[in-house]
Amino acid sequence: MTGTGQLRLRRPWVARLGPQDDVDVEGAASPRAVVEDAVARVGADPVRWAIELSSVVVRRIVDEVPALGGSPGAVEMLRRGNEATTLRALFTLAEGPAAAPPVGEATLEGIREFVHRAIPLEQVLQGVRIGHAATTEAFLRACAELVDPEAAVDEVTAISRELFSYVDDLSDAMIRTYLVEYEVWSTSAAAARADIVRSLLGDAATPDVGEASQALGYDLRRTHEAVVVWSDSPHGSSTLQAAAIEALRARGASTTLVVPVASGRLWAWGTVPPDGSRRTGSWETVTEALSRQQVHAAFGTPGSGVAGFRRSHREAERGERFERLRREAGRVARRATAYADVAAVALLAADLDAAGDFVRRELGALCARSAPMEALRTTLYHYIGAERSLVDVARRLHVARGTVTYRVKRAQEVLGHDLDDRRFSLHTALALAEELGDAVLVPRDAER
């Protein structure tokens, strides 16, 4: 790779750009060949700066326009497209507008997916404006820091003009791609199916059940179990579909309906026996199938008719959200999450700030972030859940009975009251702490 000393850039200060944190080019969203070409053209540190900037910008876009996210895979696709545009902006300033390559497939692929996800063009352009503003701000700030004060004003003016022209061309390419894809997609069978499903899930008037069933090739009058399947990869739609169908078959589904909704994410339903009979596989079987495909899934509880179709899906989405919260808290990711198993804690975690206030109020000093306190919380949680069986807790935690006795006694001393005083509230707070860790043990505005 070319070193910065060999570069001949139109703006030499660009070669002095560098990230604030330790950014490795191996962690780039772009293909390795693209990154290596960028490093050869402008140097490793500027490329690392652009990678870092792109990640920050993507977080801002998703925070302000959440619809553009939707799944880890969708966010990764957005990061890949935004990273490509950030590198193009870097080339524009370093080498001149003529040196910037055409808008790449990584960017346009994301635009096409927004069409398939029924995200309005206005929201897509809002994301472009947010990204442009944040990127321009970063370039101007870097320019002001790296350029001689006497030349800074002219340089800032020139940069603003070039970046405005750049994003204007970028927006035109995105709009054209969006409109072309929309025209094709809006007349496709897949779009029609997706529209029917969204109508069924929405608050609008329910379409005729018989007609909708015929159009979907799926009987909406039966009992349904919904599942949301996702992966960390922006690709692999066929993999997700295969995993969803296999998992639903193991749950006893005779027919299935699958609707991709984002890169690395899809919705699915299966018609299952109303009494739960004819299950062809256990949860272990489901977990094994998901593990083979390297995907995750959250299942709703079965429900009948359109109302059950809708309710089971909403439960599956709550289960998915809860599993994402667990992962953010550093918990080991589960391949399969049954909403029935996590419903109580998931509902409490719907308002994370209120849940945190509740946990800290109930547990008091037992919230302290240390290994000993975590051991006390975990032991007490299982102790109450096992109806105070020392044998069961010792076997589950792989410790001696005496250790359980000591931890329970010590936990009660830290709490300052008898375990029966607020047994239900105490066990609920411990369950939240066990599942979500620092997300509820530490106030959000506290330094972690």
Looking from the CA of 149 toward its CB, the CA atoms found within 13 Å total 0
Q: Is 263 exposed, middle or buried (0-12, 13-18, 19+ CB in 10 A)?
A: buried
Strands (E) located in 117-187 = none
Mean predicted lDDT score pLDDT of the chain? 87
Between 283 and 312, whose confidence is greater?
A: 312
User: Per-residue pLDDT averaged across 217-237, rounded?
Assistant: 86
Paired sense of beta strands 296-299 and 336-338, if any: parallel
Per-residue confidence (pLDDT) for residue 323, from 0 to 100: 92
CA dihedral 393, 397, 401, 407 (to 10 degrees): -90
How many Å apart are CA 380 and CA 5, to the nearest integer? 61
Model confidence at 234, pLDDT cuts 50, 70, 90, reads: low
Domain 351-441 has CATH 1.10.10.2840: yes
Reply yes or no on whether the pLDDT at 379 is more than 60: yes
Q: Tokens 């749950």, residue? A: 251
pLDDT, tens digit, 9 for 90 and up, residues 146-184: 888 888 888 889 888 888 888 888 888 888 888 888 888
Q: How far apart are the first and last CA of the chain?
A: 38
Instruction: Out of 90-104, 280-294, 382-396, give the one with best mean pLDDT.
Output: 382-396
Domain 193-346 has CATH 3.30.70.100: yes
How many Å apart are CA 346 and CA 301, to the nearest integer? 14
Q: Give the pTM.
A: 0.65
Check: CB of residue 201 under 8 Å from CB of residue 310: yes
**From the centroid of its chain, how far is CA 301?**
23
User: Per-residue pLDDT averaged across 59-80, rounded?
Assistant: 89
Domain coordinates in residue numbering, the chain: 4-185, 193-346, 351-441
Q: Do domains 193-346 and 351-441 have the same CATH topology?
A: no
Model confidence at 293, pLDDT cuts 50, 70, 90, reads: confident
Reply yes or no on whether the pLDDT at 2 is more than 50: no
Per-residue confidence (pLDDT) for residue 374, from 0 to 100: 92
φ, ψ of residue 234 in degrees (nearest 5): -75, -5
CA dihedral 415, 420, 424, 426 (to 10 degrees): 10
How many Å apart are CA 321 and CA 230, to the nearest integer? 11
Reply yes or no on whether the pLDDT at 24 is more than 70: yes
Per-residue confidence (pLDDT) for residue 3, from 0 to 100: 44
